[in-house]
Structure 1
Amino acid sequence: MTKQSLKRTINLLAIMACSITVSQAFAQQAAPVGDIEAGKGKIFMCIGCHGIEGYRASFPEVYRVPKIAGQNAEYIVAALKEYQSGARTFPSMIAVAHSLSEQDMLDLAAYYAQLK
């Protein structure tokens, strides 16, 4: 390898390392974040079922409502998106999920994730 080709290779590696660092910085900066206080103001749709210990829904079938306080925020958002897309099929949750924006989901998830 000549000095010149070695220098080009080193420069190329330096450029690639900078590109990766910049890409990671943008990815971290662009990650949407939920607001706990905003979520606190949006729980009216959730509290009637998920706020009652051991609650069972009876429409369209008897269903044990899961506890979501303390649940992982990413899991809550993923579940809400699945209800919104139809991948999950519980009717009342589909209706709730369709009324939520992505920011609403993030806010609700942030609020419930910080509860014990």
Structure 2
Amino acid sequence: MSAAPRPVLQGLLAAATGIIASTAALAQVPRPGDRALGEYLAGECVTCHQVSGRAGAGIPPIIGWPADQFVAVMQSYRAKDRDNPIMQTVAGRFSDDEMAALAAYFGSLTPPQTK
């Protein structure tokens, strides 16, 4: 049995490397959150953040935010990069999947129309 020519082996190696790189890149793509789970988890959030979208007592509205922005803010509270002990505690209890679910829920809500 003869050995495969070098160019064939190099081609196979390049193809395998490409497949591995593509698979790794797909693993990095955030999955969309489960909106129903987000609605379930939102109970604690809406005690301060009004689901109506109105700001109150210095607490910003969080409805209608893009999911990536919502998750990034929550992760920054969890990492204690943002200084708010209450939000650090709340965010610290959520997994990445739960944050994505909350982002899907709050992102699906429509901010009120301003007149």
**TM-score normalized with structure 1 length:** 0.70
Corresponding pairs, count: 104
CA RMSD of aligned residues (A): 2.5
Unaligned 5+ segments in structure 1 are: 1-6, 58-62
Shifted more, 68-77 versus 13-22: the winner is 13-22
- Map of 1:40 onto structure 2: 39
Residues 115, 14 of structure 1: alpha-carbon distance in 2 compared, 3 angstrom cutoff: farther
- Map of 2:73 onto structure 1: 79
> Which structure shows the higher helix fraction?
1
- Deviation, structure 1 residue 18: 3.1
Q: In structure 1, the residue corresponding to 2:43 is in which secondary structure?
A: helix
- Map of 2:54 onto structure 1: 54
2:98 is aligned with 1:104: yes
What amino acid sits opposite 1:56 in the alignment?
A: G
Q: In structure 2, the residue corresponding to 1:86 is in which secondary structure?
A: coil
**TM-score normalized with structure 2 length:** 0.70
Q: Deviations over 1:47-84 (max 9, x none)?
A: 23142433223xxxxx251x322212121111111111
Following TM superposition, the consecutive aligned residue runs of length 4 or more in structure 1 with deviations greater than 3 angstroms are 29-32
Unaligned 5+ segments in structure 2 are: 111-115
Q: Deviations over 1:16-44 (max 9, x none)?
A: 23322233134425655321111110111
Residues 115, 8 of structure 1: alpha-carbon distance in 2 compared, 3 angstrom cutoff: farther
- Map of 1:4 onto structure 2: none
Counterpart contact for 2:42–2:102, Cα < 8 Å: yes
Residues 8, 103 of structure 1: alpha-carbon distance in 2 compared, 3 angstrom cutoff: same
